[in-house]
Amino acid sequence: MMTSADKAGTNGQTAMQTPPVVSPQDWEAARQQLLVKEKAHTRARDALAAERRRMPWMEVDKAYAFEVPSGKASLLDLFQGRRQLILYRAFFEPGVFGWPDHACRGCSMVADQVAHVSHLNARDTTLVFASRAPQADILRLKKRMGWEIPWVTITDSFDADFGVGEWHGTNVFFRDGTRIFRTYLIKSRGDEQMGGTWNYLDITPLGRQEPWEDSPPGYPQSPTYKWWNWNDSYEAGAAPDKKWVEVSDAGEIALRAKGAQ
């Protein structure tokens, strides 16, 4: 059977060589065959995240200063009392394409994909964007684009010191009291996967903090699904909602039963 894409291209373009059109049964067989590889890819990704949680840390001894809407802030302040900090270096400043109306197109695309930060906050993790633009410009940009991500101004050598002076990138830090450690850096195409809650948590030292994960002894973990909540309903230290526990338990049982068939 020929599809419209099989026909000769226009304007000298090569015609698309599309896959064959098959029956529902053959389509499902092809999907199941590919699913084997996709599951292997998922397991490999989980194993890589487990290895990442065991990477050595680098202590941050230098003091850094940022501008925030309320004034000045240190790197420690950016944690907002949480143990983990994910800090994305976004390019919005003089000299960047789009200034002063827009940030870099790529960095803006990253910002557009960021999930509601309350879910990260519920896992003791703070997400912050950082640029060299003044706060007045950042606040104006956030309002225009509808972004609610905390966004600070770099005032010193932070970006150069952490490998994001000339290109975007995501650094991860861990706080132990007042001591700060750099635990990971992902940049270039690695930033493509950022934006979702799970991908952000997978680059942190504590991970998703769920029992199925391969994490070092003593790392915090709580039952999968049970900590999930609506983005306006998280309460620090609250026990899982009993009704949600029942619903998620029933879902897990049904999923396992279906997988065993």
The model's pLDDT over 221-230, given as tens digits with 9 standing for 90+, comes to 999 999 999 9
Residue type, 17: Q
What is the C-alpha separation between 128 and 120, in angstroms, rounded? Answer: 11
For β-strands 179-187 and 169-176, DSSP reports them as antiparallel
Can you give the pLDDT at residue 12? Answer: 76
Query: From start to end of 101-224, where are the E strands?
Result: 125-131, 151-154, 169-176, 179-187
Tell me if residue 172 falls in helix, strand or coil. Answer: strand
Answer for the pair 206, 220: CB distance below 8 angstroms, yes or no: yes
Can you give the pLDDT at residue 7? Answer: 55
Can you give the pLDDT at residue 257? Answer: 80
Answer for the pair 86, 128: CB distance below 8 angstroms, yes or no: yes
* Two tokens, residue 168: 């975007």
Answer for the pair 118, 80: CB distance below 8 angstroms, yes or no: no
What is the C-alpha separation between 149 and 232, in angstroms, rounded? Answer: 15
- Among left, alpha and beta (phi > 0; psi -120 to 50; other), residue 81 is left
Can you give the pLDDT at residue 261? Answer: 46
What is the C-alpha separation between 222 and 209, in angstroms, rounded? Answer: 6
Can you give the pLDDT at residue 255? Answer: 80
Taking alpha carbons only, the member of 203, 55, 220, 3 closest to residue 122 is 220
- pLDDT under 50: residue ranges of the chain: 261
Can you give the pLDDT at residue 10? Answer: 61
The alpha carbon torsion through 156, 157, 160, 166 (nearest 10 deg) reads 30
